[in-house]
Amino acid sequence: MSRVTMNKGHSWQVLAAVSISYDNGFNGIRKEAACMNFDRTAPGGGVDVVCRLEHAKAYLEWNFFFINRREEEKGIVRVCLADRKGNVVMECRKALQEEEPVEGILMQPHFWQGEREPYLYEMEAVLTDCSGRIMDSLTGQIPLRELRNRKTGNEMELLLNGVPFIPKAVFYSLPDGDAVVRQRQILEDLQQIKRLGSNCVCVKKEEPARLFLEFSRLCDRYGILVFVQEERGRGERQERKEGQGRADEPEREGSRAEEEDIGREREEGRQREWAYYQDRKVRMEPGENIPDFHSVENGLFMPGSRYPTSLYYKYMARWTEEPFIYLAPESVKKLKSGNFSVHCYSNSNRVALYTDGVLFEFQRGEEEFVFREIPAKKPCVMLTAEGEGCGTALSIHKILLSNCD
């Protein structure tokens, strides 16, 4: 099982599974200012959806959040779920005076399977009063999935819909700018992340809630899980700090205890990392570091650049399932002998390098192949690399070699 290392001192929380649009209701419906409606600033844009799988059935719970709600106010929430063809597959309703969530069971559900099949259902939630008057509505697409842990020996295995899930995570910072430019940039980046073979992204928790929700909706469509950064133990430290605000406890004792908590959490972070999926603790075993999508040092892309670095192709050789091979021009180096070397990235375990159509060397390995002492007798050398079901070419000029000294 592949393992993923989260950044030290942090754990990750999977973003809520539901992506809800920000429509204020059906066309033509006008809501009064004091009318009860869905709270779109709450988690999930007004609704938190929990999916539990059991015996090939999906048990769903909708927890709605409201604003302008009065205790004596009565009403009904109706939820409809439709498949891609528009067929209503489930409908349920509940009175607002009942505190329990809206519940439903879907027989033979079509699960969201990540990049392999990011299937989404259409959801509509309608809020009405006792007379049937519509007060508000929410529409959006939701994936039916369950993410949990299973202990295997001394390790915690990550399961998606009961099947082992190997996280291939990328750290991503949401871009700035106006909505149109930002969405275009996010779409381009998600295409690169999907091409890379990544199946999940990690973003900072302090990102704006609405932008966060829009980003998660796009990730659902691309078959990518979203994790959010969360400091471990922050809640416990806050509770202790509030308790120590009493006059009978010196302030310096609270500060010392907080420093001890932070030190202990950092030590634990070096030993294991945790993630949270909705309300469940989901653990990811330490392993390889998570690469930054945009970073000056060890980034998959340089900030502001649209061209991948060599690290991008190295991870692509590790993660993608499509036949892939790449000769990195930036890796070309002139050697003391006057010859040169080049790095090749591929998910094939056998790579052949040709110079001007003549076999130079055949190597076996994984991900990265380094070819050395390639002769440069001509002004231009054509390199061709071939793997299993893939090939690429690179033209090397002496001018380029002179700049590699």
Could you tell me if 97 and 120 are in contact, meaning their C-beta atoms sit under 8 angstroms apart?
no
Position 243 confidence tier, pLDDT thresholds 50, 70, 90 = very low
Residue of higher predicted confidence among 207 and 31: 207
Task: Write down the pLDDT at residue 11.
Answer: 43
Q: What pLDDT is attached to residue 14? A: 44
Over the stretch 59-71, which tens digit does the pLDDT of each residue have? 999 888 888 777 6
Q: Which of 106-120, 134-148, 276-290 has the lowest mean pLDDT?
A: 276-290
Whether residue 329 is predicted with pLDDT greater than 50 in this model: the reply is yes
Q: What is the mean pLDDT of residues 323-342?
A: 91
For residues 235-256, give the mean pLDDT.
46
pLDDT at 117 over 80: yes
Quote the pLDDT of residue 71.
67
Domains of the chain by range and CATH? 1-17+148-320 (no CATH), 18-144 (2.60.40.10), 322-402 (2.60.40.10)
Burial 365-374 (b: 16+ CB within 10 A, else e): eebbbebeeb
Note the pLDDT of residue 257. 54
pLDDT tens-place string over residues 23-59: 433 333 334 445 778 888 776 778 888 888 888 889 9
Residue pair 313/326 in contact (Cβ under 8 Å)? The answer is: yes
Tokens of residue 69, six digits: 């709600």
Rounded to 5, what percent of the chain is helix, strand, coil? 20, 40, 40
Q: Which comes out higher in pLDDT, residue 140 or 35?
A: 140
pLDDT tier at 166, thresholds 50, 70, 90:
confident
Mean pLDDT of 269-282: 43
**How far is it, in rounded angstroms, from Cα 274 to Cα 282?**
6
pLDDT of residue 7: 39
H or E, element range at 267: helix 251-271
